[in-house]
Amino acid sequence: MTDSLERHQVFPESALPDPEALIAEARETARTITVGSSPFLSTYEVGCEIEYKRRGTAERRIMMHAQIGFRGLDKSRRAWAEIWQALDKAGHRVDRYGICLDWDIPQRSARTCRAAPGSSWPISTSGGP
């Protein structure tokens, strides 16, 4: 026999928040965040991911996506670099990584205390984790 989970074990809040209020808060937060460049964007001389994707589409190139688990920032960065370098050396490339976070969903620190155990790790909105 398997044990079943009760709602309060997974979602500790008594009611779901108002979705329109969440969207408004997210839009306000988005106005305060600037996404910078990256080695990937610099390597391919593009300003953003959509520019890169449009270029690949225009070249009729099949884009490759790799799925990888997140196991800490330094370890994951090292793994992404090692994979990219090995494929580059073999004449291939990864155009995009999908990062599996399992139960670890990033949330701003102010919200972390309200999150269910095992469901978040704090991130900073001022320049990185």
Domain boundaries, the chain: 35-123
- pLDDT value for 12: 78
**pLDDT reported for residue 128:** 43
Q: Of 36-45, 63-72, 108-117, where does the model show the most confidence?
A: 36-45
**Is pLDDT of 129 > 50?**
no
Strands 96-100 and 120-123: unpaired
List the one residue out of 64, 112, 53, 108 whose CA is nearest residue 88. Answer: 64
pLDDT of residue 127: 46
Given a cut of 70, whether residue 1 has pLDDT beyond it is no
Query: Residue holding tokens 């080695």?
Result: 39
Report the candidate in 57, 53, 31 with the shortest Cα–Cα distance to residue 41.
53
Per the CB < 8 A criterion, the answer to whether 64 and 95 are in contact is yes
Type of residue numbered 100: C
Which of 13-17, 83-87, 104-108 tops mean pLDDT?
83-87
Query: How far apart are the C-alpha atoms of 25 and 12, rounded to whole Å?
Result: 21
Element (H, E) at 21: helix 19-30
Question: Would you say 66 and 79 are in contact if contact means Cβ atoms under 8 Å apart?
Answer: no
